[in-house]
Amino acid sequence: MKPADTAPSVLSDLIATRESPHRPGLADRKSRVRAGRREPAGSSEQRSLFGEILDWMFAPLLLLWPLSVAVTFLVARSLADAPFDRSLSDRTLVLLEHVKSEAVAPAHEPIAVTASHLLQGDEQARVYFQVLDVDGALIAGDAGFPRPRLYDFPEVGRVKLRNVIMHGMEFRVAYSHLLKMSATGEPSGRWMLVQVGETLERRSQLANEIIKGVIFPQFLILPLALGLVWFGLSRGLAPLQWLQHGIRTRRPDDLSPIDPRGAPEEIAPLVDAFNDLLVRQALSLDAQKRFIADAAHQMKTPLAGLRTQAELAMRETDPKQLQRSLVQLVRSAARTAHLVNQLLSLARTENLRGAAAMEPVDLRALVRTLAAEWADEALKRHIDFGVEDDGAAAPISGQPILLREMVGNLVDNALRHTPERGVVTVRSRTGTDEVVLEVEDDGSGIPPSERAMVFERFYRMTDAPGDGSGLGLSIVREIATQHGARVEVDDGIAWPPGRGHGAGTRISVRFPRVTT
């Protein structure tokens, strides 16, 4: 996929917060991104951060607002009842005092007449009263008043309040008891009852006025509050929009990190993760460019040689010379095929970095299997090829395909740099904490000054024999790194007396041992 195609997908995945204005081709790109991306479980479409915040703010508000109205109504009704209850209690006490004085010294005016003056109603509320004798006989007033509850015991001088239904309407009733005196002026132990009740119209009217004064401003304030919340969220999410715009307008080849200073603190981890992705993407692209450049450079020479040899063979008329040219052509083709295979192996190994599935592997058994496969090649080169181990299992955690590639490259490298009648030994050893793989030979050897450079791609020593590609040890180091192993280069088997003074090469790969 081209870099220009990947930028919108990364942006859509990481920082899309609100639905962006329509742009030509944007919907098509989003549809392609979603088609190629696994949606999280339970998610069928892209969610809006702006919408999520509004939902979580407005949903509780819409639920609490009716509750607020109900609480306001109850509070308003309580506030409305308080002054009317005081007035009703005061009038009850006045009527009670009049009944008390009437019981001591009868007045010129009957209780009913006095009460009608004290308890005048109006068009909005009607007032009723009742005075009962100690025997429950009606002295004055309305007989429809219900009696207090059975266990509502009389208390001298205390006015009590209750709601009752009378004449098909709800009344607020204030009532009190009067202890009747005997002829001698002593308490008789018998009680008179005085009740005053009024309808609830005026109370309801006052409560409604209070509610209107409280609720109506809310209807004006609520839209304003919603507008302010909307504006605040838009301003708060503006840095995300700027960040989104900055990434969308980037050139496809611009992989420089995003400046996190302009982003909100809450999305700083997201910006850091995105920058880390850009760094890894840049490293991957650099590796691809370097690989392509190296491959093109290395392939240029053998391909040019193949073409030259083919042209020479076409001009040959001598059958023997033609045969020699064709043999040389076949050898060059084999070297070129080996180089291509090494390039593909290196590319495959690097692509598996961090993605290879590890499993328990017995390195001793793997080495013995691979050594049997290389025995024929060693016989063709007249090389003494052997395998040694300590007889113990060599458990490691690894990827079998990559391990086979690594051992194959070590053996191939040793066979290519070892002369005829030389010695190559593959060895595995199991220690307490590590498993060691060694490939040792008595070939040309590697000088200490060049041992760090032989792991670089396409590096070959100037006087190195053989026709290697310079990629074998690069592949070995890459695979070892992926397995958490380290590679060491030392002197190998000493040269035989007839070849002079020197030693071959021993390459050791040290793996962490896995406890079985």
- 399: burial class by Cβ within 10 Å (0-12, 13-18, 19+)? buried
Annotated domain spans of the chain:
65-205, 250-354, 356-510
Please check whether residue 31 is in contact with residue 2, taking contact to mean a CB–CB distance below 8 angstroms.
no
Paired with 164 in beta bridges are 171
Q: Determine the straight-line distance between the first and last CA of the chain, rounded to whole angstroms.
A: 43
List, for residues 490-510, the tens digit of each pLDDT value: 888 888 887 777 888 999 999
Q: Where do we find the tokens 């209850």? A: 85
CB contact set of 221 (below 8 Å; sequence gap of 6+):
none
Of the pLDDT bands very low, low, confident and very high (cuts 50, 70, 90), residue 270 is confident
What is the full DSSP assignment across 69-116? HHHHHHHHHHHHHHHHHHHHHHHHHHHHHHHHHHHHS--SS-HHHHHH
For the four alpha carbons of 365, 369, 374 and 376, in that order, the dihedral sign comes to: positive
Are 465 and 419 in contact by the 8 Å Cβ rule? The answer is yes
Q: Of 37-41, 145-149, 235-239, 274-278, which range is least confident?
A: 37-41
| Nearest in space to 440 (alpha carbons), one of 495, 485, 361 | 495
pTM of the model: 0.45
Half-sphere exposure of 8 (CA within 13 A, CB side): 16
Edge-to-edge strand list for the sheet holding 138-141: 138-141, 127-132, 187-199, 169-181, 160-166
Homologous superfamily, domain 356-510? Histidine kinase-like ATPase, C-terminal domain (3.30.565.10)
Q: What pLDDT digit, counting tens, does each position of 190-224 carry?
A: 788 889 988 888 888 888 888 788 777 877 887 88
Per-residue pLDDT at 26 exceeds 50: no
Cβ atoms 92, 194 nearer than 8 A: yes
* The CATH number of domain 65-205, selected from 3.40.50, 3.90.1690, 3.30.450, 1.10.10: 3.30.450
Show Cβ contacts of residue 144 under 8 Å, excluding neighbours closer than 6 positions. 128, 166, 167
Q: Does residue 44 surpass a pLDDT of 70?
A: no
**Residues 291-346 pLDDT 10s:** 677 667 556 656 776 777 777 778 777 787 778 777 777 777 776 776 677 667 66
Q: Residue 358, SS3?
A: coil
Predicted confidence (pLDDT) per residue in 49-108, tens digit = 777 777 777 778 778 878 887 888 788 878 878 888 898 888 888 888 888 877 655 544
- Over residues 378-411, the pLDDT tens digits come to 998 999 999 998 888 888 998 888 888 889 889 9
What number of other Cβ atoms are within 10 A of residue 121's Cβ? 13
Q: Could you tell me how far CA 144 lies from the centroid of its own chain?
A: 72
Alpha helices by DSSP H, listed for 237-318, are 238-248, 268-315
Bridge-partner residues for 440, per DSSP?
Answer: 425, 506
